[in-house]
Chain A
Amino acid sequence: MSVQMGEEQKRYQAFLKGRQPSRPWLLNSIRAFLSGGAICLIGQAIQETFVHIYHYSEQIAGNPTVAILILLSALFTGFGVYDVFARYAGAGSAVPVTGFANAIAAAALEHKAEGYIVGVGTNMFKVAGAVIVYGVVAAFFVGLVRYLFTHI
Chain B
Amino acid sequence: MKIGQQTWQFASPPRIVSTASAVGEKEGQGPLGIDFDLVVSDPYVGQKTWELAERKLMEMAHDKAITKAGLERGNIDLVVAGDLLCQNISANFSARTHGRPYLGVFSACASSMEAVALAAALVDAGQADYVLAAVSSHNSTAERMFRFPTEYGAQKPPTAHSTVTGAGAVVIGKAQNGIRITYATIGNVVDLGVQSPWEMGAAMAPAAVATIDQHFRDTGRQPADYDLIVTGDLARVGHPIAEELLSQKGWNLSGRFADCGNLIYDPKTQSEVFSGGSGAACCAVVTFSHLLPKLVAGDWKRMLVVATGALLSSVSAQQNETVPCIAHAVAFEAAVT
A interface residue numbers (CB < 8 A to B)? 1-3, 5, 8-10, 12-13, 16, 19-24, 28, 77-78, 80, 82-83, 85-87, 89-91, 93-94, 99, 102-103, 105-107, 109-111, 113, 126-127
Contacts and interface: CB of A to CB of B under 8 A. Distances in A.
Contact of B149 (A22, A24, A87, A127): A127
B86 interface: no
Contact of A93 (B50, B153, B199, B237): B153
Interface of B: 48-51, 144, 148-159, 191-195, 199, 201-202, 206, 237, 240-241, 244, 272, 275, 320-322, 324
Given A3-B191, A86-B154, A86-B155, A16 B322 contact: no
A106 B241 contact: no
Per DSSP, are chain A's interface residues mostly helix, strand or loop, or mixed? Answer: helix
Nearest to A79: B151
A20 B195 CA distance: 14
Nearest to A19: B241
A110 B237 contact: no
Given A12-B193, A16-B202, A21-B237, A77 B151 contact: yes
Given A16-B202, A106-B150, A127-B148, A87 B272 contact: yes
A54 to B, nearest CB: 31
B150 A19 contact: no
A83 B149 CA distance: 10
Given A12-B192, A16-B241, A87-B272, 10 more contacts: A10-B193, A12-B194, A16-B202, A19-B241, A21-B158, A21-B159, A24-B158, A86-B155, A89-B153, A127-B148
A83 B147 CA distance: 14
Contact of A86 (B153, B193, B206): B153
A106 B241 CA distance: 36
B238 to A, nearest CB: 9
Contacts of A12: 192-194, 206
